[in-house]
Structure 1
Amino acid sequence: MSTVPTGKVKWYDAEKGFGFLSQEEGADVYVPKGSLPSEVEALKSGQRVEFGIAEGRRGPQALQVRLVDPLPSVAEAKRRSPDELHGLIDDMIKLLEVKVQPDLRRGKYPDRRNTKKLAEVVRAVARELEG
C-alpha cells in the first residue's frame, strides 16, 4: 500500500511562481506553479496539501499538488458570525415593525426616506444569508 506524501505550505511566492512545502515526514519540498491544479493561482502558508514527489536537481520537488483543505472563499471569510447576523436581523425586524408596518396598516406606502435605509439593511441580510 503506497501512501501519498502530505504536508503544509511553508511559503509560496505567486509572482515568482514557486514556493516550498514542509512534509510531515522528510525534507522541505520545492513546489513550482506547474505542479498546482489548473484552477489554483497560488498557495497560502499553512494550507494542507497532498502531492507526488520526485528528486529534482536541487532536491525533492512536488508533482501534482492537491489541496486537502481548500481555503474558504472570500465571501465566506468575510461572513458575519451567527451572533452578528442575529443582531442584524433583529434590527431589520424592528425597522419593519416601526417604520413600515404602521403605514401599510393605514393603507399607504411607507415614506421613501425610511424605505431606502430599510432596503439597504434587507439587502445586507440577504447577502449574509446567501453566503
Structure 2
Amino acid sequence: MAKGTVKWFDPKKGFGFVINADGQDVFVHYTSIDGDGFRCLRSGQVVEYEEYSSDKGLQGKGVQILDLKPAPEPVKTRPVTVKKSPSGNRRARK
C-alpha cells in the first residue's frame, strides 16, 4: 500500500489527485474511495491506497483516509440591508 497527500478533489465531478511519495500525481475517482455513502476527499488529507499504472497514468484504488482534516471555516460575509426606494421597489444596499 502506498501513502500520499490529497492535492485536490472535486466532489461535484467525483475525482481528484493525490501526490505520492515520489511527488507524482495519482488520479483518484470517488468509486476508488473505501466506505459507504458519499465519498469525498479534502486537500491535505493523508491517504493510503493501492497504486497502479494505466494507459492514462498512475491511478489509486482502495483509498483509505488516514488523517481526517477539520471542516473548513465558513465564509464570513457582511450583512445586507434592504431599503425601499421612493418608487416602492426594494434595493439591496451594502
TM-score, normalised relative to structure 2: 0.67
Q: Say yes or no: does 1:52 pair with 2:40.
A: no
What is residue 70 of structure 1 aligned with on the other side?
68
**SS of match in other structure, 2:43:** coil
* Consecutive unaligned residues in structure 2, runs of 5 or more: 74-94
Question: Which of 1 and 2 has greater Rg?
Answer: 1
Tell me, in whole angstroms, the C-alpha distance in 2 between the residues paired with 1:62 and 1:71. 20
Please give the residue correspondences for 1:6-17 in structure 2 after superposition, counting only pairs within 5 Å: 6-17=3-14
Number of aligned residue pairs? 72
Does the 8 Å contact 2:44/2:69 carry over to 1? no
What is residue 18 of structure 2 aligned with on the other side?
21
Higher relative contact order (CA 8 A, sep 6+): 2
Tell me, in whole angstroms, the C-alpha distance in 1 between the residues paired with 2:16 and 2:56. 13
What percent identity do the matched residue pairs reach? 36
* Consecutive unaligned residues in structure 1, runs of 5 or more: 79-131
Please give the residue correspondences for 1:30-109 in structure 2 after superposition, counting only pairs within 5 Å: 30-39=27-36, 41-72=39-70
Structure whose residues are more often strand by fraction? 2
TM-score, normalised relative to structure 1: 0.49
Structure whose residues are more often helix by fraction? 1
Tell me, in whole angstroms, the C-alpha distance in 2 between the residues paired with 1:56 and 1:19. 16
